[in-house]
Amino acid sequence: MPDPLVAQAAADLFPNGVSRYAVGGLLVGLGAVVIYVGTGIAAGASTFLESTLSYVSGQSRFQRYVSSRDWRVVFTLGIILGGAAFAATVQSGVITTSLYQPGTTGRTYELAGVTLWLTDVQPWRLFVGGVLVGIGTRIGKGCTSGHGVCGVGSASKTSLVGVATFLTVAIGTAQVVAALGVSP
């Protein structure tokens, strides 16, 4: 029988349990591993932004990604369709597992028998945040997958410092925004 104090602490820190997070995280890592084992590439998601811009922009900065831009498009399409596969199966209730908790955030809607999901976070937050994410990951050489998954997995000091930096700043920012009463 679990200690009631421990159970209470777990309920406070992890109100949605940990299984969906842990299983999802293992799958994210597995996706990166499949690519690494086959190709030796430690993939990150944010370089797609610059490499894809090389199709439409002649700026010299984007041309260095020309050789990798095709597979980065394939990788990103895979991520989008992977999310769609999740929506068509687990999110739609076609596959049920005790490891998955549905959650109550945002709104769901139906399209062609598939349960889809919409965020309630306001468009201006997504847009302004997106601009800063686009600038920041490119200056900082990586994002949550490049630095956070592949870099930390490589025990790269640069990536560990990068993750510590963006995690700390993000926590501070989210706290300030919440304190200002911006919701959702």
Which residues within the stretch 77-106 sit at the binding site for another protein (CB under 8 A)? 77-87, 90-91, 100, 103, 105-106
Cβ proximity to another protein, 5 vs 155, nearer residue: 155
In angstroms, the CA 119 to CA 133 distance is: 18
Least distance in angstroms from the C-beta of 69 to another protein: 12
Q: Look up residue 45 and give its DSSP letter.
A: S
Instruction: Concatenate the DSSP letters of all residues of 74-103 into one string.
Output: HHHHHHHHHHHHHIIIIITTSS--TT----
Which of 1, 28, 69, 181 binds another protein (CB under 8 A)? It is 28
Cβ proximity to another protein, 7 vs 171, nearer residue: 171
In angstroms, the CA 93 to CA 77 distance is: 24
Write each residue from 41 to 60 as x if it is in contact with another protein (CB under 8 A), else as -, in one continuous string: xxxxxx-xxx-xx---x-xx
Q: Look up residue 147 and give its DSSP letter.
A: I
User: Does residue number 172 form part of the binding site for another protein (CB under 8 A)?
Assistant: yes
- Total binding residues for another protein by CB under 8 A? 129
Least distance in angstroms from the C-beta of 110 to another protein: 10
User: Does residue number 15 form part of the binding site for another protein (CB under 8 A)?
Assistant: yes
Query: For residue 168, what are the contacts with CB-CB under 8 A and spacing of at least 6?
Result: none
C-alpha closest to that of 165 among 177, 151, 181, 182: 151
Q: Which 145-164 positions form the footprint of another protein (CB under 8 A)? A: 145-146, 148-159, 161-163
What ranges make up the beta strands (E) of the chain? 107-111, 114-118
User: Does residue number 75 form part of the binding site for another protein (CB under 8 A)?
Assistant: yes
Cα Rg of the chain (Å, integer): 19
Which of 7, 11, 94, 174 binds another protein (CB under 8 A)? It is 174
Write each residue from 107 to 136 as x if it is in contact with another protein (CB under 8 A), else as -, in one continuous string: --x-x--xxxxxxxx-xxxxxxxxxxxxxx
